[in-house]
Amino acid sequence: MATATGKTANEARANSDLEADIRQLKADIDKLTKQLAKTGEHGYGTARRAATEGVEQLRAQGEAAFDSLRGSAKDIEAQLLANVREKPVTSLAIAAGVGFLFALLARR
């Protein structure tokens, strides 16, 4: 009977050790889950910050390009008005020729 009691005590210790290992594994899994959640939040925040900075940079570049284009258009308009005032007959002939070409293209 001593052997049966010895086996039962060994089995009880083995079960106890297994239960302790299982508890430790659960605790480790919980810890890892929390760390992954923090890492995910940090990664999301970093990506969002980078995207916001990129959008701001693109917006600034777009506004600068638009301002440059606007300035160029004003310069061209000023040159065109100066040429029309200097040579009104030539400007009228050019406008008529361009209109005639547009009419030919539109007809086809």
**pLDDT tens figures, 52-82:** 888 899 899 999 999 999 999 999 999 989 9
Which residues fall within 8 angstroms of residue 83, CB to CB, at 6 or more apart? 91
Structural contact between residues 97 and 89, judged by C-beta atoms closer than 8 angstroms: no
**Binning pLDDT at 50, 70 and 90, where does residue 85 land?**
very high
∠ Cα 38 39 45 (to 5°): 90
∠ Cα 85 87 90 (to 5°): 130
Structural contact between residues 20 and 26, judged by C-beta atoms closer than 8 angstroms: no
For residue 87, the SS3 value is: coil
Taking the C-alpha atoms of residue 7 and residue 79, their distance in angstroms, rounded to an integer, is 106
Q: The dihedral of CA 66, 70, 76, 77: what is its sign?
A: positive
**Identity (one letter) of the amino acid at 57?**
Q
pTM to 2 decimal places: 0.46
CA distances from 97 to 92, 100, 104 (A): 9, 5, 11
pLDDT at 43: 76
pLDDT single digits (tens) 4-16: 565 677 777 878 8
**Binning pLDDT at 50, 70 and 90, where does residue 2 land?**
very low
